[in-house]
Structure 1
Amino acid sequence: MRFLLYATLLTVLAQLPCSHINAQQTPEAAIRQLMQQQTDAWNKGNIPVFMQTYWQSDSLLFIGKNGITKGWQATLDRYKKSYPDTATMGQLHFNLLELKQLTPELYFLVGQWHLQRSVGNLQGHFTLLIRKINGAWKIIADHSS
């Protein structure tokens, strides 16, 4: 009886890693989910949650029409200054054009962004470097124009 119990337990344990691997998202799906998380947070007017998709590091790089911003906190401050309320934030829509794997833990993303706003629409293009850091995909560099 004890042998049967051990054999059953070993069979169940041997199957756990396989089911865990199958349950994991592909990097591409995880990155698309990251972009959806950005969209959802932005459209709720929540810049701090929007910024959770960025690498919280002094090495984060953001390049926009006003130049280079270095660091997570400086990027957060820049967003808050540029978009002080929901009217200026508007509703964000991304069109992801190209997603390329550079290494197993680094992706390059090219896309278009569009803000539908009552104070005048804005749109442009962006390139992102997205890296897997401590098991989570984070934007480490953003060039938006």
Structure 2
Amino acid sequence: MKQFLTVVVLSLLALPALSQQTAQKIAASRDRRAILEILKRQTDDWNTGRVDKFMAGYWNSDSLTFVGKVGVTYGYQATLANYKKRYPDRESMGTLKFDILQLDLLTPTIAYVIGRFHLTRPEIGDTDGHFTLLWHKIKNRWVIVSDHSS
């Protein structure tokens, strides 16, 4: 009987730790899903020619960084302007496809994504490359704070 009570007491002491781990796993799963949903929405927006809506996945801040083939761009507005300049019409935008290779939640508010993009553009030629996205959860919303695409 004494052993039984010891097991019961130890089990009850372990419950809070187990429930906290479960809550953390649920939160991490929810955050992964949120990030993947944003990337899916960006793909849909890009493929319908809505660059302004595509940019909703980015942090609307002068501190946003975008690193591309031509160097570093600072700020949301400058990044949007570069997208519009580089992809002025549906033909140049093509059809976007993302392949997510890695998605790591480094902390409850920081995530890191590595992926591959492919633009199908029948008239002017396809293009593809890789990207690294640093995400930050700001005001309970995941946003891209740094994008390195090449």
TM-score range, shorter chain: 0.7 to 0.9
Name 1:5's counterpart in structure 2: none
Name 1:77's counterpart in structure 2: 81
Structure-1-length-normalised TM-score: 0.82
**Alignment: residue pair count:** 124
1:84 is displaced (CA, Å) by 0.2
1:89 is displaced (CA, Å) by 0.1
1:18-70, Cα deviation, whole Å (9 max, x unpaired): xxxx8xx7100000001001100000000000001100000000000010000
**Superposed structure 1 runs of 4+ greater than 3 Å apart:** none
1:81 is displaced (CA, Å) by 0.2
**Identical-pair percentage:** 49
Pick from 31, 34, 37 the counterpart of residue 38 of structure 2.
Answer: 34
**1:103 equivalenced with 2:120 (yes/no):** no
Matches within 5 A, 1:123-134: 123-134=128-139
Paired with 1:27 and 1:58, the residues of 2 have a C-alpha distance of 25
Q: Which 5+ residue runs of structure 2 have no aligned equivalent?
A: 1-25
Code of the residue aligned with 2:105 in structure 1: it is: Q
Name 1:136's counterpart in structure 2: 141
> What SS does structure 1 have at the residue aligned with 2:56?
helix
Name 2:3's counterpart in structure 1: none
1:93 is displaced (CA, Å) by 0.1
> What SS does structure 1 have at the residue aligned with 2:45?
helix
Matches within 5 A, 1:2-17: none
**1:113 equivalenced with 2:96 (yes/no):** no
1:101 is displaced (CA, Å) by 1.1
1:99 is displaced (CA, Å) by 0.5
> What SS does structure 2 have at the residue aligned with 1:26?
helix
Paired with 1:113 and 1:91, the residues of 2 have a C-alpha distance of 10
1:96 is displaced (CA, Å) by 0.1
Structure-2-length-normalised TM-score: 0.80
1:135 is displaced (CA, Å) by 1.3
